[in-house]
Amino acid sequence: MSDIVATENTFCFPVCNKCKHHLGGDKCYAFDKIPKEILMGDNMHNKVLLEQKNDIVFEEKK
C-alpha cells in the first residue's frame, strides 16, 4: 500500500502512516474515516477529538 493519500487532487503523506493505530487508507482504530484535517496534516491528532469513537491518539510505530 502506498504512503500517499489523494484527496480532491491533492497528495499528501499523512502522519497516520507513522501511527501504530492506522489500519490503512483513511481507516484507523480512532475513526471509521480519518478526518480530512488529519489526512492533510493540519492536525497531528495528539488530542482526542469529539468525533472519535474512543480516546486513541497518534502513537508512533516502533
Residue 11 pLDDT: 54
Q: Give the separation between CA 62 and CA 52, rounded to whole angstroms.
A: 24
Residues 24-34: tens digit of each pLDDT: 888 999 999 99
Q: For residue 54, give the nearest of 34, 30, 21 by alpha carbon.
A: 30
Residue 1 pLDDT: 46
Domain ranges in the chain are: 1-62
Bigger pLDDT: 9 or 22?
22
Residues 37-60: tens digit of each pLDDT: 998 889 999 999 999 999 999 999
